[in-house]
């Protein structure tokens, strides 16, 4: 019984991400004792795809080479257990851990979270699929997915997509939602009174293709050239920062205000300061398959929002929620119409809209636990 009650979290995962903290909390909510065997090789790296210089790559590789012997020794000293969770970014972790897990007869559950190969090659298009590094990355990720007992991602659509890339069986692949650290977000007792001639719209996130920032900027330009009803706050940085900022400056889109980042603890205040939040509008397969962290945060904060209608969002059952507008991905005209329509509904029916925001699901650690339980109890 003592063996069954232990879950080991092992690897070089990024402890700065809510995903890892929520998985640990979910395991603890199920009654498991969690043991973390961890080396923080990603300290100070928010966007791992932006490690482009050879100096930075070699530095990460050096940290990994130093970390793995220590992690293996620490793993060997852990109490008896049946399950190991390897959080994102764990493809090398899985390969290194696999022989040692076999010696201890333990199952590896890999939180893929996202395919590094698909992100670098298909979504962000950093390298071509014909590049030798892309082929190497594919083979490494394939090997990790075969060695792990199970692989899980954040939505059924994303799990199915990852499974199709590596031809994994349905038994091998599953999903566990990202969720939200609910204690960091709260819902106000009323929605702020909206000014239809000064609609405050918020986007925040990493500047990556998945978010569809060009679509947002196109919508802002269209509004500025015609109705001039929206003030946009765009918060974030990343791969596309320079491209987006240069475009805003060159086209003089004065209705957009930019912030590079806000502290995580200030995120709820930022959300409460706007009228409408934005989700994602990218057109890649990955964009159509995921539910980004911010959607869960927006719902926990009780804010109306507009996002692309995707297969990834289906588990949230938001189609009939009047505080949500789902639009065609990549369409700036539909995005703008969605904002106008949602703003008018907020102005006309504030009480009904408030009730609709309260009906949005809060996917906290307890909700995540039910998915994790299936993972640990499946033979």
Chain-centroid distance, C-alpha 326:
19
Higher-pLDDT residue of 26, 52: 26
- Bridge-partner residues for 38, per DSSP? 11
pLDDT at residue 63, rounded to an integer: 77
Could you identify the residue written with the tokens 């926990």?
300
Percent of the chain with pLDDT over 90: 85
Residues 304, 343: Cα–Cα separation, whole Å: 9
Q: Indicate if the pLDDT at residue 264 is higher than 80.
A: yes
Q: Indicate if the pLDDT at residue 27 is higher than 70.
A: yes
Three-class secondary structure of residue 276 per DSSP: strand
pLDDT at residue 113, rounded to an integer: 94
Q: Report pLDDT digits (tens) over 132-177.
A: 999 999 999 999 999 999 999 999 999 999 999 999 999 999 999 9
pLDDT at residue 45, rounded to an integer: 58
Would you list the DSSP string of 196-212? TTSEEEEEES---GGG-
Q: Indicate if the pLDDT at residue 309 is higher than 50.
A: yes
Question: pTM value?
Answer: 0.92
Backbone angles phi, psi at 79, to 5 degrees: -65, 165
State the pLDDT confidence band at 205, using cuts at 50, 70 and 90: very high
pLDDT at residue 1, rounded to an integer: 40
Percent of the chain with pLDDT over 70: 94
pLDDT at residue 54, rounded to an integer: 61
Rg of the chain over all Cα atoms, to the nearest angstrom: 22
State the pLDDT confidence band at 58, using cuts at 50, 70 and 90: confident
Backbone angles phi, psi at 307, to 5 degrees: -150, 170
């Amino acid at each position: 019984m003592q063996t069954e009650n232990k879950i080991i979290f092992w690897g070089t995962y990024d402890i700065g991400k809510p995903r890892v903290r929520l998985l640990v909390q979910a395991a603890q909510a199920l009654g498991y004792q969690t043991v973390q065997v961890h080396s923080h090789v990603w300290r100070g790296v928010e966007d791992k795809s932006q490690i482009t210089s050879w100096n930075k790559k070699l530095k990460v590789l050096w940290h990994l080479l130093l970390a793995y012997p220590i992690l293996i020794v620490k793993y060997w000293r852990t109490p008896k257990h049946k399950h190991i969770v390897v959080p994102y970014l764990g493809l090398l972790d899985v390969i290194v851990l696999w022989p040692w897990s076999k010696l201890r007869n333990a199952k590896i559950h890999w939180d893929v979270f996202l395919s590094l190969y698909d992100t670098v090659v298909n979504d962000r298009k950093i390298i071509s699929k014909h590049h030798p590094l892309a082929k190497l990355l594919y083979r490494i990720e394939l090997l990790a997915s075969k060695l792990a007992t199970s692989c899980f991602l954040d939505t059924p659509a994303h799990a199915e997509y990852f499974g199709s890339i590596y031809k994994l069986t349905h038994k091998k692949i599953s999903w566990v939602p990202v969720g939200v650290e609910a204690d960091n977000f709260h819902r106000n007792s009323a929605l702020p009174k909206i000014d239809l001639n000064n609609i405050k719209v918020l986007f925040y996130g990493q500047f990556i293709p998945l978010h569809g920032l060009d679509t947002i900027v196109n919508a802002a330009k269209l509004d500025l050239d015609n109705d001039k009803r929206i003030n946009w706050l765009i918060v974030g940085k990343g791969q596309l920062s320079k491209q987006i900022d240069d475009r805003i400056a060159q086209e003089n889109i004065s209705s957009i205000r930019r912030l590079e980042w806000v502290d995580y603890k200030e995120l709820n205040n930022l959300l409460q300061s706007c009228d409408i939040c934005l989700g994602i509008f990218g057109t890649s397969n990955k964009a159509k398959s995921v539910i980004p962290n911010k959607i869960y945060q927006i719902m926990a904060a009780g804010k109306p929002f507009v996002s692309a209608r995707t297969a990834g969002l289906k588990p949230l059952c938001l189609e009939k929620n009047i505080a949500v507008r789902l639009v065609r991905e990549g369409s700036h005209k539909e995005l703008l119409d969605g904002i106008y329509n949602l703003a008018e509904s907020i102005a006309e029916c504030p009480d009904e809209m408030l009730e609709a925001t309260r009906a949005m699901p809060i996917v906290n650690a307890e909700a995540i636990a039910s998915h994790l339980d299936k993972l640990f109890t499946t033979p």
